Amino acid sequence: MSTDLQALKRAVARVRDPAAAAGAWLGSAFFIGEGLALTAWHVVAPVAAAPAVDPAAAALRVRLEFADIGHDTDATLLAHDDAADWALLRCAQPPTVPPLRPAAVVADNADWTAYGFPGLVAQGLVVHGQVRDAAASQAVRMPALQLFCQEAAAGQGAPLHGLSGSPCVVDDRVVGLLRATPQGSVLDGQGRPRPVTVAGTVWACPVAALSGARLPPAALPLPADWFGPPPRSDFLVVRSRADAQAKRRLLSVASAVRDKLPGQALGAPQALDAEAAVASEAALLDATRWLCEAQVAVFDATGFEPAVMLLLGIRAVVRRGVTILSIGGDYAVGDPLGVPFNLMDANIVAHSARQAQLLDERLHPVPMLLTRIVRALEALESPHHVDLPVYEAVRRLPVARRGVRPPEDGVLVLCSFDPGYQQRNWPVLSEALKNQWENLKARLASTATPAGALGVARSFELNSPQLVSRAIYEEMRRARSCVVDLTGWSDAVLFELGVRLVVSRHPTACIVERQAADAETDPARLALLRLLVPETLRYDLGQDVLVEPAWGCAYGPNATLATDGPAGGSLYRCVSEAIPVEAEPAAQPVFLELLDSAQLFAREALGSSVKPVGLYPGNARLTALEEQAEFDRLLAAFLFIRHRHGDLPADAGARQALRRSARQLFERHPSRTADMPPGLRQEIEAVLDQPE
């Protein structure tokens, strides 16, 4: 079947940078329906890297010119994949043309056609060729379709710059997006180097790379035939702003680990760029859902960047899973590393090139990460497994300490402990918030400090007998009033902010020193400021504390905090719907908790010796109590399952646990089972007599 060339031309557009000079364009794109267009990521990446013309704009914007139908429209970036090199755009005014449709498969030697706008041909150019290697499109780490292009191979090899993002069509169906060509150079008639395509080879991003891609909610609805069912979301790689090569390194390590996992326990690792995750509220909400879903999450903690730390704080609350930090750059395990104080116990590995060069094979990034993940997945079987120091601290609160602290109890302050901040900012912030606390108590006709009041308290100032870390996470959940100062961009503060935003339904006052915010140029930090800190919460240290309005907006009798957006509770509401309830402590079957606690006191045989239970096995009385504790818990588990689930439980887990408890009662405690009432002993024996 031949290609309908006119239909192809109508669906293809030039991609322009709205801020660039007239006449220059970036590449090509094509319409796929539902108001969406596709192009190559490297076509629009220069616009993403350039300083924003409008600092308030949260999304990358380009101009699409559908030349064959005379239609122009703005388009905003919805999602992209820098490794596969595709970008999805939403058109402000979609063209009224039939959308291009994808092909599920493509064969070697198939004839293909593409149309786009190379820099030397303003009216558009049609190119042809054959598919050389279709199997490469199925590669997990770097999917690519190898093509041969007749025009690129003719003469000295015509340069195809500008055709990037063009649709590669076989029998009227798109099989990929043109992305790159190997290039050399020749001298023109005046002795100047001119780029040429080598051997007519062209690479395309295959349609298979888009199938099942993770997209933000703003991308819906989607053309169903372009984006298939979402991939398994149980293995997430959160990437920092590192260059493309460094990003690929961590994803490559994770992919190699997944290939070596026994029984393929996880799906292919899915990449989440932290900087893109904070570009908008929709992106942050979607990232939060992914963090809820993933059983394993590996964070690129190189530099402990603000966006990464915020997502790590969210992860610490929402999932008791496997969470591992990996450091890149020049770091190797054992080097000095300035770890935020609230992550001192975190699981840290390295994925740097230097780490890979170490002579000890066990310390290579792949086996090191593989070992950590395998052991952590095994440890997940126990309800006592902890991967980050937050999950249990915000859940297992005694009933007397679960109530919300009202504003008149005081305000929890999360801020930097850097000496410069402590000398310059904290004295002003402390005085201002104490004034607001007094104003609040006066408004309530009470100047007395409530018993057990929080006051204006930072982490080490909490009046609690608990460990400092547990006390502060508890207060993040309980305190209705919380002020977070982003000035200085402390890594610990960003982690704590992530925790606060998903552990409390109440608004959080994110503040920043105005002068520092005005001088900020980092894209991720600017995005966080746009998301979290309104103008009313940007303070001026030069103003008298009684005059500066930001303090009263953040806390006090006249506080004005948003009740929507990430700081207003939207992340908390998102997690309440997305959290995997089966992983929550309340969902843990009682019999498993009983068996797990019994295991804590069990003597396990190891070869010809027996491993002791407690710390002091020479104490005969203690040893007897430990053995009795194991027996009582095994018996409790057996009786619970029998009376709760019946003689032959329908639930496979309960059935296995029933047999396990019965077997261990006889194997571990023959004297105690012999002293049981005959009827009870017969019940246990009957379970063991049942077929597996």
pTM assigned to the model: 0.73
Of 518 and 229, the structure prediction assigns the larger pLDDT to 518
Of 462 and 495, the structure prediction assigns the larger pLDDT to 495
- Is the pLDDT at 606 greater than 50? The verdict is no
Q: What percent of the chain is predicted at pLDDT more than 70?
A: 86
Distance CA 161, CA 381 (A): 54
Q: Of 66-70, 357-361, 632-636, give the lowest mean pLDDT range.
A: 357-361
Q: Are 152 and 112 in contact (CB under 8 A)?
A: no
Query: For 290-366, where are the E strands, in sequence order?
Result: 296-300, 322-327, 348-350
Of 86 and 464, the structure prediction assigns the larger pLDDT to 86
- For position 140, what pLDDT does the model report? 46
Distance CA 65, CA 68 (A): 9
Residue 531: pLDDT band with limits 50, 70, 90: very high
Q: What is the mean pLDDT of residues 360-386?
A: 85
- For position 119, what pLDDT does the model report? 66
- Is the pLDDT at 305 greater than 90? The verdict is yes
- For position 185, what pLDDT does the model report? 43
Mean model confidence pLDDT for the chain: 84
Could you report the per-residue pLDDT of 532-559, keeping only the tens digit for each? Answer: 999 999 999 999 999 999 999 999 999 9
Q: Of 139-153, 412-426, 458-472, give the lowest mean pLDDT range.
A: 139-153
Residue 136: pLDDT band with limits 50, 70, 90: low
Q: What is the mean pLDDT of residues 205-217?
A: 76
- For position 196, what pLDDT does the model report? 47
Of 406 and 104, the structure prediction assigns the larger pLDDT to 406
SS3 197: strand
- Is the pLDDT at 682 greater than 80? The verdict is yes
- For position 488, what pLDDT does the model report? 96
What stretches of 261-404 show up as alpha helix (H) in DSSP?
Answer: 274-277, 281-293, 306-318, 353-356, 365-379
For 127, 383, 498, the CA distances from 395, given in Å and listed in that order, are: 61, 13, 16
HSE at residue 127, side-chain half, CA atoms within 13 A, is 33
Q: What is the mean pLDDT of residues 4-19?
A: 90
Q: What is the mean pLDDT of residues 368-394?
A: 84
DSSP 8-state assignment for residue 202: E
- For position 308, what pLDDT does the model report? 96
- Is the pLDDT at 692 greater than 80? The verdict is no
- For position 194, what pLDDT does the model report? 47
Residue 120: pLDDT band with limits 50, 70, 90: low
Q: What is the mean pLDDT of residues 421-444?
A: 93
Q: What is the mean pLDDT of residues 394-407?
A: 85
**Angle at CA of residue 479, ends 475 and 483, nearest 5°:** 100
Q: What is the mean pLDDT of residues 212-223?
A: 66
Q: Which residues contact 70 (CB under 8 A, 6 or more apart)?
A: none
- For position 59, what pLDDT does the model report? 60
Residue 156: pLDDT band with limits 50, 70, 90: low
Residue 57: pLDDT band with limits 50, 70, 90: very low
Could you report the per-residue pLDDT of 158-203, keeping only the tens digit for each? Answer: 556 678 899 999 988 899 999 866 444 443 444 444 444 556 888 8
Q: Of 143-152, 309-318, 441-450, 554-563, give the lowest mean pLDDT range.
A: 441-450
- Is the pLDDT at 658 greater than 50? The verdict is yes
- Is the pLDDT at 8 greater than 50? The verdict is yes
**Four-point Cα dihedral 259, 261, 263, 264, nearest 10:** -50
Q: What is the mean pLDDT of residues 603-609?
A: 54
Distance CA 514, CA 511 (A): 9
- For position 286, what pLDDT does the model report? 80
Q: What is the mean pLDDT of residues 102-131?
A: 83
Residue 30: pLDDT band with limits 50, 70, 90: very high
